[in-house]
Each structure stands twice: as C-alpha cells, then as structure tokens.
Chain A
Amino acid sequence: MNTIFTLIKLQFNAGVRLAKDKSPLKTAFRWTIIGIVAAALLGSFVAIYHTLAQQFMVTELGIDLSGEFLTFTIAGFMVIQTLFLIPMLIKVLDINNDRELLLKLPLTSREIFISKIIVSYCFELVFSVVILGPILIAFGIAAGSPWWFFVGLIPFFVIFVPIFPFFIAILILFPMMKLSWFMKSKTSFTTIMYLLGLVAGVVLYMLAVQTMIRPLIAEGFSETLLDNATYIQSIAGGFYPARAFAVLATGELVPALIHFALIVVFSVGLFAFAFYIASLKYKKFYMEEHSSISGFSASSKYCAKSPIHAVLDRECLNIFRSSNYTFQFLLIVVITPLLIFFSNRIANYAMYQSFMNVGEADFALGISFEISLFITMVLIPLASSFAASNISREGHNIYHTKLIPVSFRKQLFTKASLVFVPIFLSIIVGVTLSMLRHEITTGAGYYADGLRGVEVIQILVIATSMAIGYICLGTYIDLCKPLCNQISTGELTKATTHANFIIVLGSIIGVGFGALGLLSVFSDSIGFGMDAEIFRWFLIAFSIVFGAVFATLLFVDGPNRYRKLEQ
C-alpha cells in the first residue's frame, strides 16, 4: 500500500507541480489574475445556466421539466468529461512516459496501474468539483431545492458522476491503443482518430442544438415546451445513467431511493469492471515491448532544399509528430469554421423568423457578419496561443536554431507562419461557408442573410490582422522568457503562462468586438455616436494597427532578442 501511495505522490508531482516564481509577490499576482479570470468565466457560465434552467421550470403553464433539464445537464457533462478524459488518460497511463524509470524499480504492473488510475480519477474529480459543482448549485438555486440537495446530493453527484465517463473512456481507450500498435505512425493515427471523433461530435451536437432551437424560435419558448413536454420527458428518460441522478434530485422519495441504490451498485460495478479490463490490458502493454518509444522507421531521400524550406519542413515534422500539439491546435482550427457555420444558421434563422412573424420591416438583414466575427474573434486567440510556445518548444534543441546560418528573422517568420497558415485557412473556410445566402421577398419586404462579398473581405482583414497580432505577440513574449529547460522537447509545452496571456487578452478583445458588433445591429449606434458601418471600419483600423504593431515588434526587435538568448 505504501508503494502505491508513493507512486501516487510521484504522479501528482510530475503532473501538476507548477513552476514557481522567485518572488512570492509575483506568484500571488499570477494566482490572483488566474483566479479572477477563472471566476469571471465560470460566473458568466453559471449565470447563463441559471437563466436557462429557470426557463424549464415554467410552473404557471403547468409543466416542470427541471428533472429533464438536469438529466440533459449531467449527460452533457458526462460527454464533455469523457472527451477530456481520453487524452488525459493517455497521458497518465502513457507507458512510454515512465516505463524505463518504473520498470527498474521493484514494482508490479498492478501497483503502477492502481496508482495511475487513482491519479486519473483524482484529476477527474477536480474537473468535476470545479465545473459540475457550480452548475449544480445554480440549478439548485433556480429550482428552489431544499438544503439537503446542496449539502448531501451535490457532493454525491460530484463524486459519482465522473465514474461513468471514466468507465466509457477506459473502454474506448484500450481498443484504440491496441489498434494504434499496428499503425506505422501511432501519433498520426491517434490524432486523426480522435480529431475525427471530436469533429463528428461537434457536428452532431450543433445539429442537435439547431433541431431543438428552431422550433423554440419559430413557436416561442413556453409554447414549444408545453407542446413538446411529453416528447422531452421521453427523451430524457432514455438518458441513463444521467436520468438516475436527476430522479435523485427532483423525484419522489421511493424512486429516488431506488435510483440511489442503482447508482451506487452500478458505479462500483462499472468501476470494478473497467478496472479489471484495464488492468489486464495494461499489464500486457506495460510488460510487452509495445512501446512507441521505438518510434517508426522511414527511408528518405535527400533533395537539396533552400535553408528556409528546410527549417519549415523540420518545424512541420517536429510539430505534427507530437500528438498533443497537433491535436489541440488542429482541433480549434477544424472546429472554427464549423462553429461559424452553425452559429450563423441558428442566429439567422431567428432573424428570419422574427422578420416573418413581425412582417413590418420593408427590409431586413441577417446577422452573419456579427456572428462570424464574434466566433472568429473568440476562437482565434485560442489557436494563436500556440505561438506562445514557439521558442520554448525547441527545448534543448534551441542551440540548433542559433547555430544554423539562417537569420533569426527568417526563423521567426517560419515559426509564426506555421501557426498562421492553418488559422488563415480555417477563417477562409468559415467565412466561405457563411456566404451561403438565404434571400426572400414577401409582401412584408425583403430579407437576406449570409455574408456579402465585401463582408467576407472585412472579416478576413480583421481576423487575419488580429491573428497576426496574437501570433507575433505570443512568439515575442515566449522569446523574451523562453522555458526551454522546463519542457519536454517538441511537446506542446508547459509554457502556459505565455499561452494563457494570449487567450485572456484575446478573449477580452474578442468578446468586446462581438458584443459591440451585435449591439451595433440592434441599435442605430453603439454609443459615442458611432453607427454600425463606421464601427466596422473602426474594427478594421484597430485590427490592422494591432497586427502591424506586434509584427513590427517581433520582426524588428525579435532577432536581437533571439541573439541575446542565453539558453
């Protein structure tokens, strides 16, 4: 047992120990900022959730769908947690990570596995406490739940809900790991499989949202709920085991007790089953020489490339052979156009219905520009933040970049371009999809949505300039204080402070742009006497200046800073 505890401690230290600042003041400042941003994001999310939850408790119409709403909430949480859990489990259970170290020690594969599985569950529990906890509190407040819901049921949910995603993740993970051993490039295979799965998930989710929201928009919220209450109840009934948790919180005493017993029995049973399956497979993986540390073999021919071309190729290979980096970066790049497309369709449908229902306007336009801009502006910093590890990612190979006879400016340009090009393509696909136009002329007037040509160019200019700005700023910050000695070579990096800075800055700018943009549609001006059209030009000017300033900073001062690096 002591061995397992020691291993758990080791895993925690390796997984979550954060880099310490020398100054306690700096540490306090960093944690205060992280705390404020996290609280603001979580607070906004919980507030929105609370408002939404209240909509399902329309008692004056004689329906109460709070139980169904809670079912969907828990089911959604389980799906998200499963998605997050798979890469985390891959990382924690990764046999290449510590195989050499641990096999030297007098440990059994069972002890290693138990410690790793406990650590995985603990990480999951943290996720559950931070996300599910506040959501359930918001639900309890909206539903006017009694005190025992907050004191007894929420901790119970937080502990037991993660067991089901845990079980599912393990069942998905091991066949995938098994399959990947047969592939030449395990990294590419895992990345592609997981990426495809997630993209399919996003598409299905957006289609489901669209299907659910359209009738709500067309018929009005309360009426739709009333008409479809039985339908919603029957769907929710099928969402087992999420439904069992909801019954526990909102049902009568006897069914609640039965479901309580069922949850406990199933949880323990599933945990034991997952544990059994995984320990069997894990032992096999651990003890056999099925390690991707052996890498792959590929013959290649020399074709004399230009130095810049060679650097670009090397960067590409280094990045895209790292599953962490590739997956997280490409996920955002692939999802951006999908989100732009679906959000446009849903929002424009609302505008269209409003036009058809009111029927007063002579002329109405959709809100494609504002929606596309909003989604793009929020997602671009996420993708661009990967540039904030451009230098740290070199790890101990940083000396190579200083030795080679290729100018630092060109190397910086290559690194920045590699992040920029996929983002740029993603924006182009997103706005092109948003050009699909829906026009209608009725007695009431004319309605049109979808992006116009000029709007496509406007969004491209804004988004491209902002992406350039974020990428250059991220690279510059990383260049000023790279973390080459603290990260593993080629991996995404733990240079989270740099990346987080870009994400927070980008989120603030993105939400500001989006909110002001939408405001400009629904009122004649956004204040300061600025009308919608002028506001667009203001955004264009701002983004061009933003991009130009940071590009200048990176490409003028950057080479000098690179030369001075003492890594």
Chain B
Amino acid sequence: MPTLKVKNLYKVYKGAKFISAKNISLEVNEGEIFGFLGVNGAGKSTTIKCITGIIPFTAGKIEICGHDIVESAFEAKRSFGFVPDNHAVYDKLTGSEYVSYIASIYKVPKEEYQERFDTLVKKFNLQNSINNQIMSYSHGMKQKISIIGALIHKPKLWILDEPMVGLDPQSILDVKNYMKEYAASGCSVIFSSHNLDTVEKLCDRAVIIHGGIVIADINLKEYREKGMDLEEEFMKLTAKAREEIDKIRAELLVQERELAEKIGKRKAAQIMQKKIMDEVHASMLA
C-alpha cells in the first residue's frame, strides 16, 4: 500500500486568476524519499498544504496510509509529521514544552516518549537549549525543534517543505542523514526543495512542478545509474513549460482585461473564476 496517494488534485484559491495545482497525481511508496522540485510559485507548497490538510482543495483525492485526508482526517493526520517552510513554532513555549505538547496531541505513550525525545534531541544537537524558550532559538534551531516535533509520534510519512533553508552545513547533513535513516526504517519522506543537487543525491523519485502542473516524474535511481544530469533536464523542462504556461496565462489576462473594459473589473474577475472552475470540473469529468 502506498504511503501517499494523490489522485487528480486541483486547487484554485479564492479569487485567483489561475489554477494553483492542476490534475496532480502521484504515489509515494514505503521506504521512499520523494522530492518536489520547482521554481518559486510553481505550486510545490500549495500541493504540500493540500496533502497535509492545511488548506482545502478544489477537487481530487488524497490518501495517507490508506486514510482519506477529508473523510478520515484524524487517522490521516496521525500518520504524518510536517515541517513547514516558515519555521513557525510557538515561541513562547520552551523546546521541551513544545515537543511534549505535540506528543500529547498525538497520544504518544509516556514510556515511549522519553526514549524518542532523547534520541531526537541528541541527533539534532539541541541538548543545551531544549529547555530554553523557543523565542531565543536561532533560525536553524527553530527548524530542528520543528523537526523533532514532527517526528515525536513516529509517523509513517514525514513531509518537509523547503527543509534546508537557513540551516548550517552540519545541520543540513544531519537532516539528510536522518531522512535516509528514516526511509530505511520503512517510512517515507517527502520534501520540496530548490536544491537540485540535494534532491538528485537524496531522493529515489521526484516530480517537477511548474505552473501547478506535474511536468515530469523522474526515477532518480535510474538517473544516477545512467549518469544523467538533473540540473540540465530541469532547466530544459521548466523553460519549455514556462513558455507554454506564460502564453496561456497571458491569453487569460488579455481576456479578463477585455471583459473588464466591457462589464467592469469585479464581474470580469468573477467570470474568469467561474471559467477556471468549469475547466476543473470538465477535467474531472474527463
């Protein structure tokens, strides 16, 4: 059974001019490290937020360890741990208070907690500051406590959004090693990144997203075996996609502008939004 199964995912933000995630389908298997690649605004974070249930999605189906994120939200949420890109944690709490809060939420038994806590704190080298208020933590330390919080309930799926941003080289290495270790234990890891090198070396598979569309699903094991260059492929694919998507988007903007001149900005925006939604529904039916 795949740890994560996304089928025909669509996301249109309220009032948006374009579809942020369009017909995204993917599967992540047990023991896999899976990468999301894409330029800024490609739709990586949107897809991850939909997967984690942070934002609702317009259409499609997401299953985590067999649990539907909408219909069996609690079971699905208990199956993953998430590390966001903004390193937001409750900074009025101390590090240990934050981790015990998360542990209680996920009902971690007392007897299991201490061992996991000690291992993770040691692994991420936070022994000296774990009892300090998070507000005193550096950027990297906040990222580390966020990772400890995400893993304290030992989820089957570990999701990270831009995890390496702001970390020092040693911490980056620690996180990478732990990702490998975690995947080797039979769990799955998904992360988004701009860093092609990291993805190429670390991941078993990756998708490239551009303009909300999956433009490539790459088996990186094969890439590595064949000695192919991910960077070159990425540049080629995104340049082509950018050309096409920019053209479509420019046409849409012209249409909206023309409509706006006739019926006013507000109504034009409403019509364009409806058009997007019709497109989503038509795709779903197809």
Contact across chains for B92 and A300 when beta carbons are under 8 A apart: no
A396 within 8 A of B: yes
Chain B's closest residue to A296 (CB) is B133
Contact across chains for B89 and A307 when beta carbons are under 8 A apart: no
A303 to B107, CA, bound (A): 10
Per-position contact with A for B70-112: 1 when CB-CB < 8 Å, else 0?
0001110110001010101111111011011111111111100
A295 within 8 A of B: yes
A310 to B93, CA, bound (A): 13
Contact across chains for A304 and B105 when beta carbons are under 8 A apart: no
Contact across chains for B92 and A490 when beta carbons are under 8 A apart: yes
Query: Which residues of the partner chain A approach B100 to less than 8 Å between Cβ atoms?
Result: 300-303
Q: How far is the CB of A289 from chain B (nearest CB, A)?
A: 12
A490 to B109, CA, bound (A): 29
Chain A's closest residue to B137 (CB) is A295
A405 within 8 A of B: yes
Contact across chains for B77 and A399 when beta carbons are under 8 A apart: no
A310 to B153, CA, bound (A): 15
Query: Which residues of the partner chain B approach A321 to less than 8 Å between Cβ atoms?
Result: 92-93
B13 within 8 A of A: yes
Which residues of chain A (306-320) have a CB below 8 Å from chain B? 306-307, 309-311, 313-314, 317-318
Residue of A305, A407, A565 ringed by the most chain B CB atoms within 10 A: A305
Chain A's closest residue to B11 (CB) is A566
A224 to B91, CA, bound (A): 58
B254 within 8 A of A: no
Query: Which residues of the partner chain A approach B109 to less than 8 Å between Cβ atoms?
Result: 304
Query: Which residues of the partner chain B approach A566 to less than 8 Å between Cβ atoms?
Result: 13-14, 55-56
Contact across chains for B105 and A404 when beta carbons are under 8 A apart: yes
Contact across chains for A402 and B54 when beta carbons are under 8 A apart: yes
B182 within 8 A of A: no
B113 within 8 A of A: yes
A441 within 8 A of B: no
Residue of B89, B90, B96 ringed by the most chain A CB atoms within 10 A: B90
Query: Which residues of the partner chain A approach B255 to less than 8 Å between Cβ atoms?
Result: none
A400 within 8 A of B: yes
Chain A's closest residue to B104 (CB) is A310
Contact across chains for A304 and B108 when beta carbons are under 8 A apart: yes
Q: How far is the CB of B44 from chain A (nearest CB, A)?
A: 15
Query: Which residues of the partner chain A approach B14 to less than 8 Å between Cβ atoms?
Result: 566
Contact across chains for A399 and B54 when beta carbons are under 8 A apart: yes
A500 within 8 A of B: no
A489 within 8 A of B: yes
Contact across chains for B88 and A395 when beta carbons are under 8 A apart: yes
Residue of B55, B82, B101, B134 ringed by the most chain A CB atoms within 10 A: B101
A383 to B207, CA, bound (A): 51
Instruction: Tell which of B55, B84, B103 touches A302, judged by Cβ atoms closer than 8 Å.
Output: B103
Contact across chains for B93 and A397 when beta carbons are under 8 A apart: no
A563 within 8 A of B: yes
Question: Known: A300-B97, A318-B93. Is A295-B78 also a contact (CB below 8 A)?
Answer: no
Which residues of chain B (205-260) have a CB below 8 Å from chain A? none
A104 within 8 A of B: no
B131 within 8 A of A: yes
Query: Which residues of the partner chain A approach B54 to less than 8 Å between Cβ atoms?
Result: 399, 402-403
Question: Known: A304-B107, A310-B101, A403-B52. Is A489-B93 also a contact (CB below 8 A)?
Answer: no
A565 to B54, CA, bound (A): 8
Q: How far is the CB of B92 from chain A (nearest CB, A)?
A: 4
Contact across chains for B132 and A297 when beta carbons are under 8 A apart: yes
Contact across chains for B93 and A317 when beta carbons are under 8 A apart: yes
A373 to B53, CA, bound (A): 45
Q: How far is the CB of B123 from chain A (nearest CB, A)?
A: 18
Contact across chains for B78 and A405 when beta carbons are under 8 A apart: yes
Instruction: Tell which of B52, B89, B110 touches A304, judged by Cβ atoms closer than 8 Å.
Output: B110
Question: Known: A396-B88, A489-B88. Is A300-B56 also a contact (CB below 8 A)?
Answer: no
Query: Which residues of the partner chain B approach A403 to less than 8 Å between Cβ atoms?
Result: 52-54, 77, 82
Q: How far is the CB of A488 from chain B (nearest CB, A)?
A: 10
A28 to B221, CA, bound (A): 61
Chain B's closest residue to A564 (CB) is B56
Query: Which residues of the partner chain B approach A59 to less than 8 Å between Cβ atoms?
Result: none
Q: How far is the CB of B128 from chain A (nearest CB, A)?
A: 10
Chain B's closest residue to A96 (CB) is B135
B119 within 8 A of A: no
B136 within 8 A of A: yes
Q: How far is the CB of B90 from chain A (nearest CB, A)?
A: 6
Instruction: Tell which of B75, B86, B103, B132 touches A396, judged by Cβ atoms closer than 8 Å.
Output: B86
Query: Which residues of the partner chain B approach A13 to less than 8 Å between Cβ atoms?
Result: none
Query: Which residues of the partner chain B approach A406 to less than 8 Å between Cβ atoms?
Result: 105
A301 to B99, CA, bound (A): 11
Residue of A294, A302, A306, A318 ringed by the most chain B CB atoms within 10 A: A302
Contact across chains for A307 and B105 when beta carbons are under 8 A apart: yes
A322 within 8 A of B: yes
Contact across chains for B90 and A297 when beta carbons are under 8 A apart: no
Question: Known: A305-B104, A314-B101. Is A322-B88 also a contact (CB below 8 A)?
Answer: no
Contact across chains for B56 and A297 when beta carbons are under 8 A apart: no
A310 to B108, CA, bound (A): 12
Contact across chains for A405 and B56 when beta carbons are under 8 A apart: no
Contact across chains for B90 and A397 when beta carbons are under 8 A apart: yes
Query: Which residues of the partner chain B approach A297 to less than 8 Å between Cβ atoms?
Result: 94, 131-133
Known: A304-B109, A405-B106. 18 other contacts (CB 8 A): A293-B135, A300-B94, A300-B131, A302-B96, A302-B99, A303-B110, A304-B103, A304-B110, A304-B113, A310-B101, A314-B93, A395-B88, A400-B88, A400-B90, A403-B54, A405-B73, A407-B74, A490-B92
| CB-based closest 7 A-B pairs | A295-B133, A310-B104, A396-B88, A321-B92, A405-B74, A295-B136, A405-B77
